Amino acid sequence: MPKVLISDDLSQAAIAIFKARGVEVDYMPELGKDKAKLKEIIGAYDGLAVRSATKATAEIIAEAKNLKVIGRAGIGVDNIDIPAATARGIVVMNTPFGNAITTAEHAIALMFSAARQIGAADVSTQAGKWEKNRFNGVELYAKTLGVIGCGNIGSLVAERALGLKMKVIAFDPFLTPERAVELGVEKVELDELLARADFITLHTPMTPQTKNILSAENLAKTKRGVMIVNAARGGLVDETALRKLLDEGHVAAAAFDVFTEEPAKENVLFGAPNFTATPHLGASTTEAQENVALQVAEQMSDYLVSGAVTNALNMASITAEEAPRLKPFAALAEKLGAFAGQLVDEGLQEVEIEYEGDVAGLNTKPLTAAALAGVLRPLLQEVNMVSAPAILRDRGAPLAETKRAASPTYDSLIRIKVRTAGGWRTVAGSLIAGVPRIVEVKGMSLDAPFSPTIVYVNNLDKPGFIGAFATMLGEAGINIATFHLGRTAAGEEAVALVGVDQRVGDDLVEKVKALPQVRYVKVLSF
């Protein structure tokens, strides 16, 4: 009988589900704060169910000799070392949609608190001061709310704000015009949102692209009197810069549920005028905790008892029978998706996936999910192979699949196309001797491996480019591992995929862009 350890405070409903499914369970919530004890006993368990207190580090995972699955009751997995778990063959699952409504409601509550200074007014009133004139608030009615990140939670916030008769504008690279119309929001670029919004609320994951999205520079672009709410992730806002603007009165109020460092025993924002803080309560309702507990218990039980995989962050949903055949194609699809996703510089509008040859006769659903996870992951790191299709649907980006029984050149070929404001980006690949290879970019044939770092260049096929490019890399101390070229015809459009051994800095990218033959440059990571 499989055995699961619950090491965080989790609803008792989870215990009942595990037992009903034939899974033995030990409920020891105190272990979330006792790393030494957890490390000592984790080797006896097949599954580990956690919330946020337990830190499933590489050190803990190294002692988990029998562990097969880690389930996170919630969406954030910052407390789980996913690479370490993957290396040990441990599936990591989360419950990405169980607390969306609760978090959206908390964001709205924080907005009201900022607008009406509820926290400060409560402290003042209970101190017997009765300062009616001090706490003169503002209405939400007819104000403009800027939503940064209009996915699952952001769209719920927008829906509720519209019910309050607010005007809602949204910045989200993945939000299509059609989905914006469906939601009743106006899709705008970030600078326009900053200039127009009376209130700003953030609902994005923490990624390299979103870290400090409200930087000092961007905060300075906001209108005087703006109010800012963050119930998403700490680090999305430059807290020091925000404190300065609160002190100066440029930002009229702010309300945060999350902070760069948590637990936030102290923070530069604490004590600022018109600042409200809550201790990461976004998911802290009875309903949300019940939902995520039920979901994580069901998902973990299904995996331990039958091998079914749901909401896995580090593997596709593939049945035991399909796994041997689909696994290499899933790896190919995800890598191709990652290639295409890293080229989405101007917002994702549409995705097309084509299957040719033998692969078209397989179950392509997990392959498509793997491809979409690759496409979305550069901006949404917490996306997984199960949630990726739903996330794409939430943003209204159409997905089209085509299958052809024959491929002109290869036994099997997968082609991924993504449409952005700048046009279509296309890449295709195949398995050659069982290894994923890139065989086509922008319709141009070539044959290149997925090196860990690839410099992708779209250029004109003119003399001097290769020499100048290689010289630049050499002068920067960057070693060329592989160099593969494709072109439409002599003297016309061409592409180069150059695998390198060292990091390529932004300054070098700008130098390459300045070459007269070059149209586009991007450093890709795999």
Q: What is the pLDDT of residues 146-170, one digit of tens each?
A: 999 999 899 999 999 999 999 999 9
Tell which residue, 396, 440, 437, 395, has the closest CA to residue 417. Answer: 440
Whether residue 516 has a cis bond before it, omega within 30° of 0 = no
Average pLDDT over residues 488-507: 94
Cα–Cα distance measured from residue 194 to residue 368, given in angstroms and rounded to the nearest whole number: 36
pLDDT of 390 reads 75
Helix axes 323-341, 365-376, angle to 10 degrees: 30
Same domain, 437 and 507: no
Tell whether 423 is covered by a domain. yes
Same domain, 143 and 264: yes
Tell whether 283 is covered by a domain. no
Same domain, 58 and 26: yes
Same domain, 355 and 434: yes
Give every CB contact of residue 490 below 8 A, 6+ residues apart in sequence. 461
Same domain, 305 and 394: no
Same domain, 149 and 297: no
- pLDDT tens digits, one per residue of 284-327: 899 998 999 999 999 999 899 987 788 888 876 666 567 678 88
How many domains in the chain? Answer: 4
Q: What are phi and psi of 525, to 5 degrees?
A: -120, 140
Q: What tokens does 205 get?
A: 């994951």
Q: β-strands 423-432, 453-460: how paired?
A: unpaired
Cα dihedral 170, 174, 179, 180, rounded to 10, equals: 20
Tell whether 282 is covered by a domain. no
Give the H/E segment covering residue 84. helix 82-87
Same domain, 121 and 221: yes
Let me know: does 275 contact 237? Beta carbons within 8 Å: no
Question: Strand, coil or helix: what is 332?
Answer: helix
pLDDT of 115 reads 97
State the burial class of residue 456 (Cβ atoms within 10 Å of its Cβ: 0-12, 13-18, 19+). buried
pLDDT of 376 reads 93
| Band of residue 391 on the pLDDT scale cut at 50, 70, 90 | confident
Percentage of the chain exceeding pLDDT 70: 98
- pLDDT tens digits, one per residue of 69-97: 999 998 888 899 998 888 787 899 999 88
CATH number reported for the structural domain that contains residue 523 in this entry: 3.30.70.260
Same domain, 160 and 251: yes
170-192 as b/e, with b when 16 or more CB fall inside 10 Å?
bbbbbbbeebbeebebbbbebee
Tell which residue, 341, 362, 374, has the closest CA to residue 522. Answer: 341
Q: β-strands 423-432, 47-50: how paired?
A: unpaired
Give every CB contact of residue 261 below 8 A, 6+ residues apart in sequence. 234, 267
Q: What tokens does 59 get?
A: 């050190």
Let me know: does 462 contact 476? Beta carbons within 8 Å: no
Tell whether 481 is covered by a domain. yes
Give every CB contact of residue 143 below 8 A, 6+ residues apart in sequence. 166, 167, 198, 199
Cα–Cα distance measured from residue 256 to residue 231, given in angstroms and rounded to the nearest whole number: 6
Domain extent, residue 15, equals: 3-98+288-315
Same domain, 23 and 163: no
Report the DSSP beta bridge partners of residue 468: none
| Band of residue 68 on the pLDDT scale cut at 50, 70, 90 | very high
Tell whether 393 is covered by a domain. yes
Cα–Cα distance measured from residue 485 to residue 391, given in angstroms and rounded to the nearest whole number: 35
DSSP secondary structure string for all residues of 3-26: EEEE-S---HHHHHHHHHTT-EEE
Report the DSSP beta bridge partners of residue 453: 525
State the burial class of residue 169 (Cβ atoms within 10 Å of its Cβ: 0-12, 13-18, 19+). buried
Q: Would the pLDDT of 439 be above 60?
A: yes
Same domain, 147 and 237: yes
Report the DSSP beta bridge partners of residue 251: 226
Q: Which one-letter DSSP state was computed for residue 394? A: H
Same domain, 390 and 253: no
User: Cα–chain-centroid distance for residue 110?
Assistant: 24
Average pLDDT over residues 195-213: 94
CATH number reported for the structural domain that contains residue 151 in this entry: 3.40.50.720
Average pLDDT over residues 491-503: 95
Q: Which of 421, 441, 461 is the last residue of a domain?
A: 441
- pLDDT tens digits, one per residue of 232-244: 999 999 999 999 9
Same domain, 217 and 114: yes
Average pLDDT over residues 261-289: 94
Let me know: does 282 contact 102? Beta carbons within 8 Å: yes
Q: What tokens does 14 get?
A: 């989870």
Q: Would the pLDDT of 333 be above 80?
A: yes
Cα–Cα distance measured from residue 176 to residue 346, given in angstroms and rounded to the nearest whole number: 11
Tell whether 166 is covered by a domain. yes
Residue-averaged pLDDT of the chain: 93
Let me know: does 302 contact 71? Beta carbons within 8 Å: no
Cα–Cα distance measured from residue 303 to residue 294, given in angstroms and rounded to the nearest whole number: 14
Q: How far apart are the first and last CA of the chain?
A: 39
Average pLDDT over residues 368-381: 88
Q: Would the pLDDT of 131 be above 80?
A: yes
Tell whether 204 is covered by a domain. yes
Position 340, amino acid: A
Report the DSSP beta bridge partners of residue 255: 229, 276
Q: What are phi and psi of 286, to 5 degrees?
A: -55, -45
Give the number of C-alpha atoms closer than 13 A to the C-alpha of residue 192, restricted to the C-beta side.
9
Query: Which are the catalytic amino acids?
Result: 233, 262, 280
User: Cα–chain-centroid distance for residue 32?
Assistant: 25
Q: What are phi and psi of 50, to 5 degrees?
A: -135, 165
Average pLDDT over residues 118-146: 95
pLDDT of 364 reads 92
pLDDT of 298 reads 94
Cα–Cα distance measured from residue 158 to residue 167, given in angstroms and rounded to the nearest whole number: 9
pLDDT of 78 reads 82
Tell whether 349 is covered by a domain. yes
Let me know: does 209 contact 190? Beta carbons within 8 Å: no
Q: Would the pLDDT of 490 be above 70?
A: yes
